[in-house]
Amino acid sequence: MSRPVNPPGKDVHIRCPRLGHEIYFNYCRRENMGRPCFKVLDCWYPYFKVEEFLRQELTPEEWAALIENPGKPKMVSLVELIEQARQKKE
C-alpha cells in the first residue's frame, strides 16, 4: 500500500514520544515556535510522505534547519524550562 503525499486529517492522531500523549500532525508541524518538531519525519513517516510534503511546504532554510537540528533530549528541555520559569519569577 502506498502512502499518501498529504498529511492525514484530525481523525488520525499518534502518540508523541516527547509529550507522552496523542497528537495530530498539525501540532507537530508547528510545535517548535512555528516550525516542525525535530522528530516529525520519524513519527509521521508510516502515515504519509511527510518528507515530500515538508520539502514543498518549507523554505530551503527551514528545511535545512529541520534536518540539521538533532533536537534536545527531553531532560535538557525540562531543565531549561524550569530555569526559564525561575528567571521569570524573579
Q: For residue 68, what pLDDT is reported?
A: 86
Give residue-wise pLDDT tens across range 41-80: 999 999 999 999 999 999 999 999 888 877 677 788 788 8
Examine the pLDDT at 13 and tell me if it is beyond 80. Answer: yes
Percent over 90 (pLDDT), the chain: 43
- Grid cell digits, residue 59: 523554505
Examine the pLDDT at 24 and tell me if it is beyond 90. Answer: yes
Higher-pLDDT residue of 53, 89: 53
Q: What is the pTM of this model?
A: 0.71
Looking only at Cα atoms, what is the longest distance across the chain? 56
